Amino acid sequence: MRTREHFRETVLHTPFHARTSAANGMNLWHRWRDYTTADAYFDVALEYNALRNACAAFDLSPMTKHRITGPDALAFLNRLVTRDVTKLKPGRVGYCIWCDDAGQVIDDGTIFHLTENVYRLCSQERQLDWLHSSALGFDVSIVEETEEVAALAFQGPTSCAVLKQLGLAGIEMLKPFGLRTFRFAGTELLVSRTGFTGDLGYELWIDPEHAITLWDQLFTAGHNYGIHPMGTLALEMSRIEAGFIAAGVDFLCADRAVRTDRTRSPLELDLERMVDFDKPNFNGRRALRAEKGRGSRYRLVKLDIAGNKPAKDAFIYDNRRNVIGTVTSAMWSPAAKSSIALASVAMPWGRPGDELYAEIYYQKELKWSRITERCRVIEGAFYDPPRRRQTPAPDL
Amino acid sequence: MTELKRILVIGGGHNGLVCAAYLARAGRKVLLLEAAPRVGGAAITREFAPGFKVSAGAHLLHLLDPQIEKELALARHGLSYARTSLKTVSLSETGEPLVLDGATVVAGKVSASDQAALASHRARMQKFARVVARQHGRVPARLASGNWREALTAAALAFDIRRLGRKDMREFLRLATMNIFDVLEDTFDGAQLKGALALDGVLGAKLGPRSGNTVFNSWYRASGDAGGRAGSFALPAGGMGAVTQALAAAAQAAGVEIRLSSPVASVLLNGDRVSGVRLENGETLTADVIVSNADPKTTLMKLLGARHLETEFARRVHNLRAVGTAAKLHLALSGLPSFRGLPAEHAGERLLIAPDLGYIERAFNPAKYREFSGEPVLEITLPSVHDASLAPAGKHVLSAIVQYAPHDIAGGWETQRERFATATLAVLERYAPGLRAQIVASELLTPLDIEREFRMAGGHWHHGELSLDQFMMLRPVAGAGQYAMPVTGLYLCGAGCHPGGGVMGSAGRNAARVILKSRQAA
């Protein structure tokens, strides 16, 4: 539990800091929710390649985590998020989004149904105020437990094999979005088959006192399987390839917006599959129903862009030279061997087959150039290896 | 199938009765459910001691919409007045009361400059009160709705203000959010006069004279013309219950079915729309349209439930300011009390204990810290002076609004009630020596009692503070200023909606208009 004076402490270290700081040969850090977080440890390309071809560990501890319990926990969550939480059985994890009254996305995250009526909600942003507001009229307890849980994302094709080496018997049978607890080093290790990379991978949750033990044993077990620590930059590459959106990057959190047209609804973020209109009530339902009738303002699209220049912050044009949107995330994808981007475009643009163009600015040795490249709207992830969904997971 | 087209009205207060009557007059089948064994809500006359009757809530009629009085033929249904155009008396501990009849000082000491200032001040305040009054019968416009009708309503408000003239418009906008303390200090010298005029800015509110919004409150209070005279006070014959009895008679004549002793436990939903209500006795009644005369918090948080509302909307309703600070004192007296220096002929007027601005502000101070006023301000009436039906011959009832007595009092009203009653009677005794000896029976209704007896959250008579941030399109909360609630088929029609509290009826009438235009009631 934090004290009232907690705000005076503005630089926090995760439970893995002794190891992440020792590994960070480049001294590349940034601030994530006050926590000192590695951008990269040695080389972004090396870490990315470890992730896609071997395995990589990412310190996930700063992720905001809440424990939600009480007789109304399920009813509360079902009113909060747009998907139907009643379908989320104990031992399962679900991606979810939640909206303000106007049906605009506040944040996305994951709900872990730990045991009967005990949930963990992970979110990108701090959400305690919104969760407490949402709890009016519910018999529910909401406790932020960010500091009480250390977490590692452990991802890549050899991740399952390493976890077997670590002694997690039967881990290969854990299905995507499943979770299981194991005895480990005298404590409980929670493992979920989840991640932000679009690859085979797991997330490991443990009490902070055992964090260093977990890190050490994991790296020992992974020694012959190409394990590397991975920073945020390599993770960012993998999440764009997977086509995942990021709060504050691909959409503005609705509670941060000053200008009402800057927010996005789930329908405008290509997340309609996450919205269950059959539920009698969830926050934003009335507004989203109205949007369904009226039509959306924007569409989030995945673009396959010609050429090899990353289309960072590029304007998107229609075929008559009108600006119809902007790129929100872009990169040269080593896995897809293409320049890829997520973009927000005005309706009705962005239909598969629409002729769109990206105006890309790039520089070489401080000389700026401009190029306009043809874009193709694609559906599905840019990179989607079958191992991501296979059960039993490949444990080569 | 006919049963499904029925409209249910929850609560038979004056607004519920008005709304039901207008709906029935338009041909709708209306069933009104009242929790108490009689209609009227807080606008009732009841016996509090053998032979002594009193208006249990509001005791002066000043805001009743004359259009409703006419359209529902309330005179034909039994409404008459025992007295209209009451004078206002500022009582004095030293035996020099000030008696005001409108802008005229009938008795008492006042300087010539104050006398002149009073005439122009009152004229201007009445003019501004008319601007407020003109909004009462309108359904508030939503800002940026894109609807031309609503744009017209908004334009009408702008026009009402603009046509005050350049100078008065500027004054209106300058004064609207101000505190009445500064305005009165700028205008008058006499402490007694200032105290008397300030009371109308704070009565029924959790505000002191130095609080913002008190000028607006005084306009609001002067925005009626009950009994035919603008900004004046009247006593209905038979007490306030006579108003609601006449409304009930008018409603029943129009075809409204009234069920008494039928408290509603919850509003039932079918998906996203109302389907009926469940009574506390377990019985369910179906309906496509439900109109609630209960206050917004009770209706939305208790009967419906926050979980069926949007998060931000529920938070706004939760945060609605509705902490009642006005208590009600009823005394059965063996004879007419004698107030210091006041001729007996004025005993039946509106009597104030608000001797100066500082006294009122000091009375308010404890309320900020959840304590009652050791020396409260009072608005007193002796209705039996004009209405023999209220007390046995030769005897009298005294009805007083006593401030400040916050609903959420520290320590709880169980332990504070007697102390507050004693303090109040001690103040009364100073202004009317011998009054305590005349008391045959007494009753003190704290805001907690008002909450329990009349089922008003926070014991607030107006179902929520009347202030600019909870007025018009912001009443009860932003996004619900037009009587329809976010759940399809659910409407509010009480004082928690525009234009607010006081025995007025406009909220009920406006709500009926909105409902009759809606698809659900078609």
pLDDT band at B2 (very low <50, low <70, confident <90, very high): very low
Cβ–Cβ of B306/A101 closer than 8 Å?
A: no
Measured in residues, chain A has a length of 396
Cβ–Cβ of B310/A138 closer than 8 Å?
A: no
Q: Which residues of A touch B486 (CB under 8 A)?
A: 286
pLDDT band at B521 (very low <50, low <70, confident <90, very high): low
Model-level ipTM above the cut of 0.85: yes
Which of B269, B311, B317, B490 would best serve as a mutation to test chain A binding (most A beta carbons within 10 A)? B311
Q: What average pLDDT score do residues B296-317 get?
A: 96
Of B306, B310, B479, the CB nearest to A137: B306
Candidates A246, A248, A370, A241; CA nearest to A314 is: A370
Using a CB–CB cutoff of 8 Å, tell me whether B37 touches chain A.
no
Cβ–Cβ of B301/A286 closer than 8 Å?
A: no
CA distances to B57, B181, B376, B377 from B361, rounded to whole Å, are: 24, 9, 10, 10
Q: What average pLDDT score do residues B121-137 get?
A: 93
User: All domains of chain A, ordered by start, with CATH?
Assistant: 6-61+149-230 (3.30.1360.120), 297-380 (2.40.30.110)
Estimate to the nearest angstrom the gap between the alpha carbon of A59 and the chain centroid.
Answer: 13
pLDDT band at B3 (very low <50, low <70, confident <90, very high): very low
pLDDT band at B24 (very low <50, low <70, confident <90, very high): very high
**Cβ of B517: how many Cβ atoms within 10 Å?**
10
Residues 286-325 of B with CB under 8 A from A: 301, 305-308, 310-315, 318
What's the pTM value of the predicted model, to 2 decimals? 0.92
Range scoring the smallest mean pLDDT among A322-331, B227-236, B444-453: B227-236
Report the C-alpha gap between B18 and B13 in whole angstroms.
9
For the domain covering B3-82+239-321+463-517, report its CATH number.
3.50.50.60
Cβ–Cβ of B271/A134 closer than 8 Å?
A: no
Cβ–Cβ of A137/B315 closer than 8 Å?
A: no
Query: Following CA atoms B343, B349, B353, B358 in sequence, which dihedral angle do they give, to the nearest 10 degrees?
Result: -110
Min Cα–Cα distance to chain A from B270, Å: 8
Estimate to the nearest angstrom the gap between the alpha carbon of A18 and the chain centroid.
Answer: 25
pLDDT surpassing 50 at residue B423: yes
Q: What average pLDDT score do residues B386-394 get?
A: 96
Q: How do residues B238-275 score in pLDDT, each as one tens digit?
A: 999 999 999 999 999 999 999 999 999 999 999 889 99
Q: Which residues of B touch A100 (CB under 8 A)?
A: 311-312
pLDDT, residue B1, reads 39
Kindly list the domain boundaries of chain B, sorted by start residue: 3-82+239-321+463-517
Buried b (16+ CB within 10 A) or exposed e, B230-249: bbbbbbbbbbbbbbbbbbbb
Chain A to chain B Cβ contacts (< 8 Å)? 44
Q: Which residues of B touch A133 (CB under 8 A)?
A: 311-312, 314-315
Min Cα–Cα distance to chain B from A133, Å: 6
Which segments of B5-87 does DSSP mark as H helices, in order? 14-25, 66-71
pLDDT, residue B146, reads 77
Cβ–Cβ of B312/A133 closer than 8 Å?
A: yes
Of B272, B313, B315, the CB nearest to A280: B272
Using a CB–CB cutoff of 8 Å, tell me whether A75 touches chain B.
yes
**Assigned token pair, B174:** 């300058």
Min Cα–Cα distance to chain B from A264, Å: 18
pLDDT surpassing 80 at residue B292: yes
Cβ–Cβ of A134/B305 closer than 8 Å?
A: no
Residue A246, phi then psi, degrees to nearest 5: -125, 135
Residue A209, exposed/middle/buried by CB under 10 A (0-12, 13-18, 19+)?
exposed
pLDDT surpassing 80 at residue B5: no
Which of A72, A101, A279 would best serve as a mutation to test chain B binding (most B beta carbons within 10 A)? A101
Min Cα–Cα distance to chain A from B274, Å: 12
Q: How do residues B172-197 score in pLDDT, each as one tens digit?
A: 999 999 999 999 999 999 999 999 99
Cβ–Cβ of A286/B312 closer than 8 Å?
A: no
pLDDT surpassing 90 at residue B94: yes
Which of B266, B275, B307, B485 would best serve as a mutation to test chain A binding (most A beta carbons within 10 A)? B307
Buried b (16+ CB within 10 A) or exposed e, B162-181: eebeeeeeeebeebbebbbb
Residues 441-480 of B with CB under 8 A from A: 479
Cβ–Cβ of A79/B307 closer than 8 Å?
A: yes
Name the stretches of chain A with pLDDT < 70.
Answer: 1-2
* One-letter amino acid of A243: G
